[in-house]
Structure 1
Amino acid sequence: MRESVEDALHHAVVAVAAAALVALAVALFLLWRKKRVARAGGGAGGDGDGAAVAVAMALPVIPLADVERATDGFHPSRVIGQGRHFTVYAAAPGLAAKRMRPHLVLGEPGGCRFPAAVRLLAVPPHPNLASIVGLSEGPGERVLIVERASAGSVGLDALLHGAGAPHDKPLLSWPERAAVSAGAARGLAHLHAHGVAHGRVWPRNVLVDAAAEARGPYGVRVSDYGLSTFLHDDGDADAGRLDARAENDVYMFGAVLLQLLTGRQWDGGRLAHWALPLIRAGPPALAEVLDERAGEPADKPESRLLARTARVALACVANDGRSRPRMAEVSAILDDVEAAYRRRNSSPEREVDGGGGEERFSGCLLGPSRSAHRSETLLRLPV
């Protein structure tokens, strides 16, 4: 009897010890994985379907003294841009230093959130993205180091609406507008694929190389992404996270597409109220939307390409965020449109499939003959 009790106690002790070892092993594994993710830069997470992946890189912290040397002590002669939040200085070749304005550094929450928030914006380089490549800080100073666009680059807003685009002589033809929209979509899709949303998809943040020969797939760069993560001026502390803002990026990219198609300004959404019913009606009503400065479509295949782009814009500005397409889907369609234009330009006969069939994605692409529920057509800015 005594031996059986001892055997039972022995087995119980062994079982407890084994359970403790298993628990310790699990705890050590979780701790190791947490440290590994932290070293990799802390990916922004995703929704489990591969739409977002952990960022396997970290932004370097550059000594402020090095930045000051590269900009000649932030000398006025080095200034290449001014904005509401930053002054931009030419730094090392191919790089620019975006110096946060003093009132944002000293106030809340820009200065305090800066280091941790900027590290969440690390993404691998991409030809259609003016990437953030480093950060620097010191007493009263917060600086972003970013890739610098080519010397001839200008904002899309200047090409469409500014002094650089007189009404009688547009700087962007329809093939060039197709290249701009496809390039911008690729840059945004790259951000979303790495768990970062832009937060400010406006024409002025789409940089276009003004040299005509450079307006190819890599002559367009999206800039100034993720600033809401630390500037916090739109009331959303998670403005740089994919799950909180990607659908709003899609909405505002649709606004950019409408401006490319019409040549008109967004004007608080009034452009969409005017253009979307005409896009839904299809030809010939669609012709009323197109920017006259870019000329009429050369033929029916080009008309189909423009109609295809217009339907993408329509899908992007659907009110229900869940019904909007993903940027990867938008990018794939606009890549096809851009490729069709390249084939047109390289083919003397200009025989090309104009993409007359309707693409379907996220249940939201409305063809000209389909009715739309009012909840999808009543437009407002995303909240």
Structure 2
Amino acid sequence: MHDAVVAAVHHAVVASAAAALVALAVALFLLWRKRLVAAARAADGAAVVPGPAATTAPLRVVPLADVERATDGFHPSRVIGQGRHFAVYAAAPGIAAKRMHPHLVLGDPGGRRFPAAVRSLAVPPHPNLAALVGLSEGPGERVLLVERAPAGAVSLDRVLGGDDAHPPLSWHQRAAVAAGAARGLAHLHAHGVAHGRVRPRNLLVNANAGARWRHATRLTDYGLAGFLDRADAHAETDVYMFGAVLLELLTGRRWDGGRLADWALPRIRAGTGPGALAEVLDVARAGPPRDKAEARLLARTARVALACVGNDGRSRPGMAEVSAILSDVEAAYRGRKGAPEGEEEEDDGDGDEGRLSGCLLAPSRSAHKGDKLLRLPV
């Protein structure tokens, strides 16, 4: 009797184990089939290039064949830009393919480090950043997929001079550009990434043809200085160069290798009242401050530039604090009564970061240390 019970239990255990194995096999088969069907559907369609919303971690790897189909085999007619490291192709609506020049891939610097370096630079989406949406590689090929700049976007260095095609920026618009750029940098620094190339030509300004200005801050291509130029990028250096951009926005003059700082900082230190700032501000293009309230806003911006450029690396403010101050200045402009026509923004639900802003391009990598208190240099 006992042997019969043991045998029955044994058979029951074996049967249960067999059923579990069958269930596991079925589940694995269904999962495999689901992935196979999804891959087949993707292959049957046009070039599979992700859209801006696809910017998630981990960074998407796109088959090189799909990128080639999307760019007509990297046809010259699809080229929308050329740089020292990349040729830029229109790949899909809202997407650009940045193809590394072959001699850089074959001669390295950066060819071998490309996949790991790019993957390490993915950051969460942000309204003031141009998303890095994917990468692709093959024999002799390295490609970045990024959000395209909107139609009509131009670099800040072209707008600051002012011409018939690009009217000069008002103080309200300059405050918006500064605040948007600061938000983009602050987001990067919060995720351990430094820009490495903060300058007006890497800051895009997009303005509609109508009376109302709309700008977008979008950062892309971060990592170039790190894995192509072999240059170290640091958050403190970003803050310094952002201060240089602020000085160019305030004065309308070129940085000129730091000569602008030598000229402007002593005048800002001497005093930040309306009279003291008169010599520094770009009144020829943006006009003088309309009242004492606007003069105070410009003086506050000048103090931020002074703190960014005038301090050493250990004493510079963090971009989070710089962003908070400049966003306050931007908000004060939006709330001003009697703003010139075309400069007031309607609340369209986008929040502060959907308003007037600037666009940073071509950053690099580095971890950001803790934010520091804003200290004016002695």
- Measure the CA separation in 2 of the matches of 1:131 and 1:100: 18
Q: Are positions 1:335 and 2:335 aligned together?
A: no
- Measure the CA separation in 2 of the matches of 1:116 and 1:232: 16
Q: Which moved more, 1:261-270 or 1:106-115?
A: 106-115
Residue 365 of structure 1 is matched in structure 2 by 375
- Measure the CA separation in 1 of the matches of 2:309 and 2:279: 19
Q: Are positions 1:289 and 2:299 aligned together?
A: no
Structure 1 segment 208-247 matched on structure 2, within 5 A:
208-211=205-208, 215-216=213-214, 219-234=216-231, 236=232, 239=233, 245-247=234-236
Structure 1 segment 31-50 matched on structure 2, within 5 A:
none
Q: Is the 8 Å Cα contact of residues 251 and 280 (structure 2) preserved in structure 1?
A: yes
SS in 2 for 1:329: helix
Residue 57 of structure 1 is matched in structure 2 by 57
Q: Are positions 1:277 and 2:266 aligned together?
A: yes
- Measure the CA separation in 1 of the matches of 2:332 and 2:319: 20
Q: Is the 8 Å Cα contact of residues 179 and 330 (structure 2) preserved in structure 1?
A: yes
- Measure the CA separation in 1 of the matches of 2:302 and 2:264: 9
Structure 1 segment 96-111 matched on structure 2, within 5 A:
96-111=96-111
1:289 maps to a residue whose letter is: V
Q: 1:100 to 1:328 in 2, by over 3 A?
A: same
- Measure the CA separation in 2 of the matches of 1:362 and 1:126: 23
State the Cα distance separating 1:223 from its structure 2 match.
3.6
Q: Is the 8 Å Cα contact of residues 315 and 375 (structure 2) preserved in structure 1?
A: no
Q: Which runs of 4+ in 1 moved over 3 A?
A: 167-170, 212-216, 345-348, 361-365
Q: Which runs of 5+ in 1 are unaligned?
A: 1-54, 240-244, 349-360, 367-371, 374-383
Q: Aligned to 1:259, which of 223, 248, 263?
A: 248
Structure 1 segment 1-383 matched on structure 2, within 5 A:
57-161=57-161, 165-166=162-163, 170-211=167-208, 215-216=213-214, 219-234=216-231, 236=232, 239=233, 245-282=234-271, 283=273, 284-291=275-282, 292-344=284-336, 362-366=372-376, 372-373=377-378
Q: Is the 8 Å Cα contact of residues 168 and 285 (structure 2) preserved in structure 1?
A: no
Q: Is the 8 Å Cα contact of residues 209 and 220 (structure 1) preserved in structure 2?
A: no
Q: Deviations over 1:190-225 (max 9, x none)?
A: 111111111111111111113266644x53333433
SS in 1 for 2:92: coil
Task: Provide the identity percentage.
Answer: 74
SS in 1 for 2:112: helix
Q: Deviations over 1:286-336 (max 9, x none)?
A: 111111211000000000000100100111113411111111100000000
State the Cα distance separating 1:364 from its structure 2 match.
4.5
Q: Is the 8 Å Cα contact of residues 312 and 365 (structure 1) preserved in structure 2?
A: no
- Measure the CA separation in 1 of the matches of 2:187 and 2:90: 26
Q: Which moved more, 1:264-273 or 1:285-294?
A: 285-294
- Measure the CA separation in 2 of the matches of 1:144 and 1:193: 23
Q: 1:116 to 1:74 in 2, by over 3 A?
A: same
State the Cα distance separating 1:78 from its structure 2 match.
0.9
- Measure the CA separation in 2 of the matches of 1:157 and 1:248: 20
Q: Deviations over 1:161-199 (max 9, x none)?
A: 4xxx23998431110001100001111111111111111
Q: Is the 8 Å Cα contact of residues 251 and 317 (structure 1) preserved in structure 2?
A: yes
Q: Which has the higher contact order (CA 8 A, sep 6+)?
A: 2
Q: 1:275 to 1:64 in 2, by over 3 A?
A: same
1:365 maps to a residue whose letter is: R
Alpha-carbon RMSD across the aligned residues, in angstroms, is 2.2
Q: 1:199 to 1:304 in 2, by over 3 A?
A: same
Q: Is the 8 Å Cα contact of residues 102 and 141 (structure 1) preserved in structure 2?
A: yes
TM-score, normalising length from structure 2? 0.72
Q: 1:143 to 1:168 in 2, by over 3 A?
A: closer
SS in 2 for 1:220: coil
Q: 1:71 to 1:363 in 2, by over 3 A?
A: same
TM-score, normalising length from structure 1? 0.71
2:113 maps to a residue whose letter is: R
- Measure the CA separation in 1 of the matches of 2:325 and 2:242: 14
Q: Is the 8 Å Cα contact of residues 128 and 221 (structure 1) preserved in structure 2?
A: yes
Q: Deviations over 1:64-84 (max 9, x none)?
A: 111111111111111111111
Q: Which runs of 5+ in 2 are unaligned?
A: 1-54, 341-370
SS in 1 for 2:113: helix
